Structure 1
Amino acid sequence: MITKQSVIGFIGTGVMGKSMARNLQKEGFPLHVYTRTKEKAAELIEHGAVWKNSVQELAASSDVIITMVGYPQDVEEVYFGEAGILENAKEHTYVIDMTTSKPSLAVDIYRKAKEKNIFALDAPVSGGDIGAKNGTLAIMVGGDEDVFQRMMPIFEVLGENIRLQGGAGSGQHTKLANQITIASNMIGVCEAIVYAKKAGLNPEKVLESISTGAAGSFSLSKLGPRMLKGDFAPGFYVKHFIKDMTIALESAKEMGLSTPGLELSLRLYKELAEKGEADSGTQALIKLFE
């Protein structure tokens, strides 16, 4: 049973991970942290988080372990091997990977965890830096129903729209569907803003009108204004969106699906990254259209 005395180990304190971990701190959970760059965890440590010098050390001292890292290879690195989570966590520990990663990798983690009497969920999120800060993330979960229910006190601190989608890997598949939706939408937002400017309209007023209609979306209402202000700070990195779209495209091809919108968006974002924008926010796509 999860209580406010349950120690949460958090691995990965980047743009979103740091805010998610901070919200757990504010809720009163004891927090242990590890990340490759200790400076990124400085604020959490200042507020009482206990720094651990390795994945191995964190895993051995935590009741629940949450990972929010960058790429599938990072997930593999922290979960597998002699120094990884699964070899060092205690029996009956809960592990929750909230990274957007490969569904097949989520299944591998689940199976290996089960062999060691460890409970695993894949639970990627959507909502960007704003959702992470406000605790309003959409959380898409794959795994066992009883484990999902036991983790609800933690999920409810981090998000609002929290749904179990099915067995292991289902959370990742759902997140990929989310990214496929955003991919084409971002192109539309950029084209709409450029069109409004070329037509001699005030683009801010245009966004005010169309954001609440049938065209409404997070990208339009939250990222559109950032585009107009020239604010390209990352709420979600271009490089990470490329990673997500690449995984989604590979998964779609494995299922025999054609995803032309996704393919176009991936090509444009790769072009954007080649122009030096890999560490910008996804809203920087507007630069290709202006």
Structure 2
Amino acid sequence: MSHRHTPDTTKIGFIGLGIMGAPMARNLLRAGYDVTAFNPTAAKVEAFVEDGGNGASSVAEAVQGADVVITMVPASPEVEQVVLHEGGVLEHIRPGALLVDMSSITPQTSVEVATAAAAKGVDVLDAPVSGGEAGAVEGALSIMVGGEQEVFDAARPVFEALGKTIVLCGPHGSGQTVKAANQLIVAVNIQAVAEAVVFLEKSGVDLPAALDVLGGGLAGSTVLARKKDNILAGDFRPGFKVDLHHKDMGIVTDAAREVGAAVPAGALLAQLVGALRQQGDGGLDHSALVRGVRRLSGEKTED
């Protein structure tokens, strides 16, 4: 039986200190874990070291001696590069260790990683997250996991340092399938909020008051609560980039086609997110969908 990966017995290698990865790695430090982190941008590693973590100059160095390796990178190509290719995690991780990929990637890639890892005697969980930057900072992420029950149970202490809702959703790839569904729901919700905002603005309604009362009724949602202040302020600094949601909508539509599920709203949102990206807003927060609605409504938006 796998032993529980508690702070007193577990060394963690963490790869990917981006918008989500950096606060997640710091929460593991706060929970008492010994964490060694790598990121291609050296300044992010240096900042992590200043906060009390250990820095690595390569994937190999981050993985060396680790009991658990966590990857948190943008997409499937990066996971393949970091995990499967020469110099990657599977070349350096010790047999018996655990690899947890918390990136948002295709279910197929997660299955490929699990198969390759099994050949080396390495346990794997795919464990993408939802909650955005705020959830990562607060340690309140929703974590959807694919893999084996015993391995999941052993990893639970690690997940508890990162999130509040932690659920094993099925075998390898299941976490990524649920994350794809999550991104579908989030995109549709943001688009609905964006359309409501523009409708209310053009109708001359007191917008902050309107959003407050909407948030208290059936129209209320986590998306509305999390995004309304930034939309009101016109602050689209990324908590989750349009570029990444564009990638995720591609995963949703491809995976749905594969299993024969109709996702008409998802197909439309994939187009709207893609258009927003082509308009130069790919680096903004996905709440910038309101900018796309404003353009469709004949308004000019500031660059």
Q: TM-score range by the shorter chain?
A: over 0.9
Moved more, 30-39 or 257-266: 257-266
Determine the structure 2 residue equivalent to 1:210: 214
1:183–1:261 Cα contact (<8 Å) kept: no
- Specify which of 219, 222, 226 is matched with residue 222 of structure 1: 226
- The whole-number CA distance in structure 2 between the counterparts of 1:41 and 1:281 is 24
Asked if 1:43 corresponds to 2:47, the answer is: yes
Aligned amino acid, residue 178 of structure 1: N
Aligned amino acid, residue 40 of structure 1: K
Aligned amino acid, residue 3 of structure 1: T
- Specify which of 53, 62, 65 is matched with residue 61 of structure 1: 65
Aligned amino acid, residue 116 of structure 2: K
- The whole-number CA distance in structure 1 between the counterparts of 2:149 and 2:110 is 16
- Specify which of 15, 39, 43 is matched with residue 11 of structure 1: 15
**Which runs of structure 2 are paired with 1:128-277 in the superposition (5 Å)?**
128-277=132-281
Moved more, 180-189 or 236-245: 180-189
Identity across aligned pairs (percent)?
Answer: 39
Structure 1: 5+ residue stretches without partners: none
Determine the structure 1 residue equivalent to 2:300: none
- The whole-number CA distance in structure 2 between the counterparts of 1:86 and 1:169 is 18
1:119–1:147 Cα contact (<8 Å) kept: yes
- Specify which of 82, 91, 109 is matched with residue 113 of structure 2: 109
Aligned amino acid, residue 106 of structure 1: S
How far apart are residue 225 of structure 1 and its match? 2.0
How far apart are residue 48 of structure 1 and its match? 2.3
SS at match of 2:161: helix
Cα deviation digits, residues 164-201 of structure 1 (max 9, x gap): 00110000000001111112111110011111112221
Q: TM-score, length-normalised on structure 2? A: 0.93
Aligned amino acid, residue 16 of structure 1: M
How far apart are residue 238 of structure 1 and its match? 0.5
How far apart are residue 231 of structure 1 and its match? 0.7
Task: Name the Cα RMSD after superposition.
Answer: 1.1
Cα deviation digits, residues 203-223 of structure 1 (max 9, x gap): 111111111321122221111
- The whole-number CA distance in structure 2 between the counterparts of 1:24 and 1:70 is 20
Q: TM-score, length-normalised on structure 1? A: 0.97
Asked if 1:85 corresponds to 2:95, the answer is: no
2:117–2:123 Cα contact (<8 Å) kept: yes
- Specify which of 73, 76, 79 is matched with residue 72 of structure 1: 76
- The whole-number CA distance in structure 2 between the counterparts of 1:42 and 1:96 is 23
How far apart are residue 256 of structure 1 and its match? 1.7
How far apart are residue 42 of structure 1 and its match? 2.7
Aligned residues: 290
Determine the structure 1 residue equivalent to 2:299: none
SS at match of 1:42: helix
